[in-house]
Structure 1
Amino acid sequence: MDSAFVEALLGARRPLVMEIKPRDAHGADLVAGRTPADLVAAYEKAGAPCLSVVTGRWFGGTPALLGEVARHASVPLLQKDFITRRDQLVSARELGASAVLLTAGLLPVTALRTLVDAALREGLTPFVEITSEAELERVPRPGDCVIAVNNKDIKTRERDAADLSRSHALLPALRAAGTPCPVSASGIETPSAAAELLAAGYRGLLIGTALLRSGNLDAWPTARPRLLANSGIPSKLNL
């Protein structure tokens, strides 16, 4: 697939989609006086290949936030919101997004298919979140989508505890579906948890709250180097 978002993530040394959102799921401030320009600069300095911008009001976001981040960012942007209409896709592209979140568990099958097709026509990468194999089976054109396992439940506004075992359990199904870039998203709270998911085979991780609260972005892992040719011995993760 031809996608700047996917190419950036697959080619990244630190394949983390670093997220900008004003509040966590419980309403706590995550910005701490920093401007969008401050956050973009810190994330890009840490090697972020892509950024996620939460425009959903549950997390204190607005469409204007996406536009402001786009003015400062030099990497592809994901708009995270509840996209349900085609006109939202046009707005996302005009504001500077390269990818848009589509939540499989909240969209009827026909709507998900329509939005995936429409996003691709707009030049946007569909970033489709799932929580189960049943939801994965409903994703159309998986080879043209980033498919992300949400370790939390959006139906509870992600106020539940994260279940990282979900990502580990669903990875084989994501690979079989043919997505070029399986992603684990939400609830990844520590560098060691991130390292385990990358070692398992995820090509990208979406991390928000933990990075916004992190005092050391360089402590987060880089991607596992490819296996040494014919040795069967993997190189160590760089933490």
Structure 2
Amino acid sequence: MTAAFIEALLDARRPVIMELKRQDAAGQDLFGDRSAARLVADYQEVGAPCLSVVTGRWFGGTPELLREVVAATDLPVLQKDFITRRSQLHQARESGASAVLLTAALLPRATLGHLVELGLSLGLTPFVEVVTEEEISRVPRAEECVIAVNNKDIGDRERGAGDLGRSSALLPAVLGSGTRCPVSAGAVRSPEDAARLLQEGFAGVLIGTGLLRAPSLPGWLDGLDAHRGTLVDPRHEPAPPPTIDIRR
């Protein structure tokens, strides 16, 4: 059970963690007239490998939203909230979560270690969110965790535009931690952004607002497929054809 979230993402054709979030950072509604069950069905229809549910109050979330989503799907589900206590991990497990967000910036080294260990013992995948190399270095048992670079800042309640360059800059340190599942989360709005991050070496991207505001969810994902097909890793560019000396 512990690895279900990671394995689902690593095995996915489209490694996108599709998020349910009632409001954006400015308090604007993202669900519209869609129920949680309707959004889950839409995500499943386009092949979501796993889901994320924001239960934090900043984004209009509630524990009930997690239970609604879990009841509507068999996919692995990540609970995103500010988890700082052992009791919250037990509650997440009882509510049916497969993974839980642990924000390294909020947790001293010892606390982070205790929560990672307890989460794993409960069958939960720790989804550890980081913004610096120092935070990455504090993640224990990284090979069993998702390590996610947050491209936004909780200091301003994630109201800023975010910086995808943070993911690119921190990717070597994330990979060096030993995690099998590096993820870029937050501020990923366009299919082109998502494709580039995956091409750089992230195993997955977490997208909420970009998908919830997309005029067409299948169209957004078709765009991702198209960009992934056209982006070329310079390390694997085909060699130029040999020069032929026509004077021979």
Common fold by TM > 0.5: yes
Aligned to 1:15: 15
* 1:160 maps onto 2:160 in alignment: yes
- State the distance in 1 between where 2:103 and 2:187 align: 17
- State the distance in 1 between where 2:157 and 2:46 align: 29
Q: How far off its partner does 1:155 sit?
A: 2.1
Q: How far off its partner does 1:233 sit?
A: 4.8
* 1:205 maps onto 2:205 in alignment: yes
Q: How far off its partner does 1:224 sit?
A: 5.4
Aligned to 2:91: 91
Q: How far off its partner does 1:74 sit?
A: 1.9
Residue aligned with 1:31, SS: coil
What is the RMSD of the two structures over their aligned residues, measured on CA atoms? Answer: 1.7
Aligned to 2:36: 36
Higher mean displacement: 5-14 or 215-224: 215-224
Aligned to 1:105: 105
- State the distance in 2 between where 1:134 and 1:4 align: 28
Residue aligned with 2:181, SS: coil
* 1:172 maps onto 2:172 in alignment: yes
Aligned to 1:147: 147
Superposed counterparts of 1:127-146, under 5 Å: 127-146=127-146
Deviation string 1:94-144 (CA, Å, 9 cap, x unpaired) is 111000000001111111001000000100000000001011111111111
| 2:101 and 2:127 in contact (8 A); partners too | yes
- Read off the aligned partner of 2:134 and give its amino acid letter: A
Residue aligned with 1:182, SS: strand
Residue aligned with 1:115, SS: helix
Deviation string 1:25-66 (CA, Å, 9 cap, x unpaired) is 000000001001100000111111010000001100000100
- State the distance in 2 between where 1:2 and 1:135 align: 23
Q: TM-score, normalising length from structure 1?
A: 0.92
- State the distance in 2 between where 1:140 and 1:156 align: 27
Residue aligned with 2:58, SS: helix
| 2:2 and 2:98 in contact (8 A); partners too | no
Change beyond 3 A, Cα 1:232–1:58: closer
Higher mean displacement: 212-221 or 137-146: 212-221
Q: TM-score, normalising length from structure 2?
A: 0.89
Deviation string 1:136-193 (CA, Å, 9 cap, x unpaired) is 1111111111000000011221012210000011111111111010000000011111
- Read off the aligned partner of 1:41 and give its amino acid letter: A
* 1:55 maps onto 2:55 in alignment: yes
What is the count of residue pairs matched by the alignment? 229
- Read off the aligned partner of 2:105 and give its amino acid letter: G
Q: Greater helix percent: which structure? A: 2
Residue aligned with 2:126, SS: strand
Aligned to 1:237: none
Residue aligned with 2:127, SS: strand
Mind listing any 5+ residue stretches in structure 1 that lack a counterpart? 226-230, 235-239
* 1:78 maps onto 2:78 in alignment: yes
- State the distance in 1 between where 2:236 and 2:32 align: 46
- Read off the aligned partner of 1:113 and give its amino acid letter: G
| 2:2 and 2:123 in contact (8 A); partners too | no
Q: How far off its partner does 1:2 sit?
A: 5.2
Deviation string 1:184-204 (CA, Å, 9 cap, x unpaired) is 000001111111101111110
- Read off the aligned partner of 2:71 and give its amino acid letter: R
Mind listing any 5+ residue stretches in structure 2 that lack a counterpart? 230-234, 239-248
Q: How far off its partner does 1:16 sit?
A: 0.5
